[in-house]
Amino acid sequence: MSPIMSSKITIGFHAVFELVRKDPNSIERLIVSLDKTSKRLSDLINLATNANVLVLKVSRQELESQVQGVHQGVAAFTHSSLEASPVGLSEHQLLHNVEQNKSELLLVLDSVTDPHNLGACLRTADAAGVKYVVVPKNNSAPLNSTVRKVASGAAATVSVVAVTNLARFLTQLKQKGFWIVGADDKAPKSIFEHDFKGSVALVLGSESSGLRRLTKEKCDFLLSIPMAGELSSLNVSVAAGVTLFEAVRQRSIEPH
């Protein structure tokens, strides 16, 4: 049997567990290896069974004939429609949702095409309490099994919204009262000198080329992370973590 395309599955225990916990209706079937036995696997099977998810127990050889990658003995096959629109949230719905909250923090990823980086950014976003991550439809890593595994379950807790035209979407966010803050290693102003309170969309670009020109032009502010070493930039997921948690720190301080 030939391997199933990775974009249709979620592998890795933590990623699968969170998918079953958060969105069991998206799962077509859950396959577990008979060669694996542990309490956490039993807990996963019980959780899936109680959520009416079809659970199939197969040999390790059968599981590996259907999936690729480090699966840890579990694989969840999702409906194909889920992969086309990972969380079923449209641009319009997202704009409507954030309009109801006057202090929303969004993460926008411009041209992050490496699935490991995207997965790490989702995990960081979840840790920072970010509910929505925005990506361009045609210039982003797909939400595949690698992304889900690296995200360690965050792909099921953070809504990834793919937009047709990122520059236009940022303009629409501005109309909803958002400040657009771009990360740029050449910007003279530091993230520690900026006020992140209110509705903020933090925009990060690819490691190779940074923000695209049109994206950068839509930013109200461009900020850098001070670097004390020899390197001039950080991995995009690390940069996201540093900046998001500076924003979270500021936003958690009660006004006097």
Question: Average pLDDT of the chain?
Answer: 85
**Quick one: what percent of the chain has pLDDT higher than 90?**
43
Radius of gyration of the chain (CA): 19
| pLDDT (0 to 100) of residue 177 | 93
The token pair that represents 40 in the structure block: 């956490």
Higher local confidence (pLDDT), 250 or 65: 250
Q: What is the pLDDT of residue 141?
A: 87
Domain 91-251: top CATH class: alpha beta
Query: Is the pLDDT assigned to residue 82 strictly greater than 70?
Result: no
Among residues 110, 115, 124, the alpha carbon closest in space to that of 166 is found at: 110
Q: Kindly state the percentage of the chain with pLDDT values over 70.
A: 91
Residue 254 pLDDT level (bands cut at 50, 70, 90): low
Stretch 160-187: mean pLDDT, rounded?
Answer: 94
Cα angle 161-166-168, degrees, rounded to a multiple of 5: 120
Name the band, by pLDDT with cuts 50, 70 and 90, for residue 255: low
pLDDT computed for residue 129 by the predictor: 93
pLDDT in tens, 162-173: 999 999 999 999
- Residue 216's pLDDT band, with cuts at 50, 70 and 90, is very high
Q: Could you tell me the residue ranges of all domains in the chain?
A: 6-84, 91-251
Render pLDDT for 94-143 as a digit per residue (tens, 0 to 9).
998 888 777 899 999 999 999 999 999 999 999 999 999 999 988 898 88
CATH code at 6-84: 3.30.1330.30
Q: What is the pLDDT of residues 151-163, one digit of tens each?
A: 877 877 888 999 9
